Structure 1
Amino acid sequence: MQTGPATKSAPLNAPRDMASHFMECGALDTNLTLAPGARLVITDDLLNGTVGDLAALSMAAIVGRDAMVAKAAVLPLGIAASKLGVADRARYERLFALIEETAFDSGVRESAEAMIHSRFRENQIKELAAEIGGTVGPARQRYRAFLEVVKLLAEKKISEALFLDEFLEFTRAVAGKLDFGIYALCVDRLFVSSQVPIMVKASLCKEVCKYPPLVRKELITNLLSSPKAERELVDYARQEVAKVLTHDQLTEIVLFTTLKLAWAAQRERPQKARA
């Protein structure tokens, strides 16, 4: 795992001011994306320079809802601070004090506090890097193992019931450890895969409706706004959320789905213009 930002061009659809975009994600109480309607940010984006702007990194650390992503944003900031002389480090100390006071995630607040107390020493930075790698690495290995289970389902070598059991076990094993962006992508693909039976998808949808509100909102609205999802599944998802969610929760789902559809329409306009 890399521990510092590298020079790398921004994604083609990245907003000009990614820090402001991240602030908007925080205001919407949703996970960070690389741009409106784009994929979710994962830890690699903070560590390999995809998100290299210090203001964006700072905002990611403060408003990031994915604990691993938010904590990964602290690392390049700490590295940048460690390279400065004592006289020039004051602004980073103020920044880390702000992160410690206002970050959404408690683990990020603790990491910021530790950086300040260590005066951004290399050992503290290495400790944080090891913590992130030691958590995300095994979770990604578990994710790759689950992909083999998906393959077995596609080849009809395991039963639907066994697959659902494996999915639940996989979810329990990686909760809070795997980048949510990777987990969400996995679920999104299951929902639209032609090799996954519709009854399995319906069962997955029912399970997702039991998830914590933020996770549920992201996954359900991805399904409801997906142009690739089967109409039967989308209709089932609407019926299911109507049964289990409160009026306010359902309203939030509807509004966020509408927002995602609007983002998708905005992305399609330039493509149609070039066609």
Structure 2
Amino acid sequence: MKPIDLARLFLLAALWGSSYLFIRIAAPVLGVLFTISLRIILAAVALGLSGAIASPFKLKSRWQSYLLLGLFNNVIPFLLIAIAVVNLNASIAAILNATAPLFTAIVSAIWLKESLNKRKAIGLVLGIVGVTILVGWSPLPLSASVIFGGISALIAALSYGIAAVYARRRFIHDRVAETAFGQLTSSSILLIPVAFATFPQTLPSLEVIFAVAVLAIACTAVAYPLYFQLISNIGATGAITVAFLIPVFSLLFGNIFLGEPVNSGLIFGLITILLSVWLVINPKQQK
């Protein structure tokens, strides 16, 4: 793995890890579904404007592919995660979300015939273990709502895996900004009804407007081209190991900016996660 791709991976994890800070500011005022929808729609507008200035994007001939990518990488997982967080606590939701790289490896093995060697398999399992150590294990009494939330979180992780492999197969030679714009535009079209149905009744404060703007521009419009560049350079499974690193930055930013307590397993969890990422993306194992 090249140093530039390693830098991209950590920058992406930092951007997506910081998104939880801004969601915590915006969602209580605007609602989770409206915040998600507005984030995607504004990100599509931002990327569209950048494309108009630099080099126009050409989506017309491949709109069906972008629609599928947007459905599996944004609409389905975002809505399912919204369901999951209502029915699960934060630690279990984070652990289940960390299964996305495992699902990606399985889908890659089936669809792209990529080998799932022992080293990579150990790395994927270690990543889930590392996230568990990092966030802690807070069991919930088994109930219908907990089961429903757990299934929703797992399907969301599977959806991310399918999207990553699909992007690797379908868009590997495309401009990453164009792929991101196509995905976000198609997602916006699908989410517009959700935005109208959940439109807030109160005017947001400047703090909320700022949080949504950062979510849309930095955590989405900037982040997705990075993600698709990683998929192109190191593969779908390697790129989605970002899911192991996101909780690290989320906890750190929460502690620094919100004064939230840090789990005592932070250091050990971080070491385990870094080891897992190294095992998955170790270039000696890429055939």
TM-score, normalization by structure 2:
0.24
* Larger of the two Rg values belongs to structure: 1
Between 1 and 2, higher relative CO (CA 8 Å, sep ≥ 6) is seen in 2
TM-score, normalization by structure 1:
0.25
More helix by share: 2
